[in-house]
Amino acid sequence: MQIEGRNPIKEALSSENTTITKLCVQKGAHDLQSIIDIARQKGIRIDFLDKPRLDSISETKHHQGLIAYAENFKYASVDDILNKKDGPLFVLLLDNIEDPHNLGSIIRVGECLGVDGIIIPNKRAATVNSTVIKVSAGATSYVKIAMVNNINDVIRKLKDNFVTVVCADMNGENIYNAHLDGDIALVIGNEGDGVKHLTKSLCDKTVAIPQFGKVNSLNASVACGIICSEIVRRRIK
């Protein structure tokens, strides 16, 4: 797996979830010495390459002078996420988010707002790759991410553990009026189709963001950020 960009690589070097095996550095690039020093301290192989060579192997085309090669991302288990020691639980369930940019943005939002974990399906959905890591600005190094066969089975398990499962849906209750206390799992649906019917039917409630413009929908990561922010606001007031 490739990781590209200064912040994602710097965070990956300090993460227990990522093992970097090689670092490629652009010859003559500035302000990279601190990252090079960390890689050397960890005994990571470092290759210095010309910019055209880095450009040719870059997957994101925005490598910022650094490309790292790492072992595949280490996913957490659902139990890792649920075994929180204190405070109310806050989990994100992603129902077939397909765009890696959306997944990366949601992971970044989740990490910034303190979610305990993110759960994604292993089929017909984006998984953690170089684009996701870069868009997340390195947040993949800090938030627990689990990959599962069936999101609906996870919802059933959460409800058995008295977690309130909330679905983001345009026809739901106004988010600012909804009861959102205690352990919460927020379901965010596919960019085009939203949350699947069966998945929605398993949720305890649906919530919507009031909108006043002419465009009738929000990007999945933007909607996720607004709802997560409201949940967190209530917990700290």
Among the three residues 26, 42, 70, which one is the final residue of a domain in this structure?
Answer: 70
Same domain, 135 and 40: no
Calculate mean pLDDT across residues 164-176.
94
CA-angle at 218, arms to 168 and 187, nearest 5°:
20
Same domain, 60 and 90: no
Predicted confidence band of residue 191 (pLDDT cuts 50, 70, 90) = confident
Among the three residues 25, 48, 70, which one is the final residue of a domain in this structure?
Answer: 70
Same domain, 108 and 45: no
The dihedral through the CA atoms of 174, 233, 225, 124 has a sign that is: negative
Calculate mean pLDDT across residues 15-32.
87
The per-residue pLDDT for range 104-145, each reduced to its tens digit, is 999 999 999 999 999 999 988 999 988 898 899 889 988 999
Distance (Å, rounded) from C-alpha 80 to C-alpha 144?
Answer: 8
Calculate mean pLDDT across residues 167-180.
93
Same domain, 46 and 87: no
Predicted confidence band of residue 230 (pLDDT cuts 50, 70, 90) = very high
The per-residue pLDDT for range 77-111, each reduced to its tens digit, is 999 999 876 889 999 999 989 999 999 999 999 99
Q: State how many domains the chain has.
A: 2
Same domain, 60 and 116: no
Q: Cα–chain-centroid distance for residue 66? A: 22
More confident of the two residues 234 and 213:
234
Tokens of 215: 């465009």
Among the three residues 54, 70, 86, which one is the final residue of a domain in this structure?
Answer: 70
Residue with tokens 């759960």: 119
Q: Are 135 and 170 in contact (CB under 8 A)?
A: no
DSSP-derived secondary structure for 203-218: SSEEEE----SS----
Range of the domain at 100: 78-236
Percent above pLDDT 70 for the chain = 99
Q: What is the mean pLDDT of the chain?
A: 91
pTM for the whole structure: 0.84
Query: Is a pLDDT exceeding 70 seen at residue 237?
Result: no
The per-residue pLDDT for range 51-60, each reduced to its tens digit, is 999 999 998 8
User: What are the angstrom distances between the C-alpha of 85 and each of 35, 89, 116, 199, 202?
Assistant: 34, 9, 11, 28, 26
Same domain, 62 and 116: no
DSSP-derived secondary structure for 51-117: HHHHHHH-SSS--TTEEEEEPPP-PBPHHHHH---SS--EEEEEE----HHHHHHHHHHHHHTT-SE
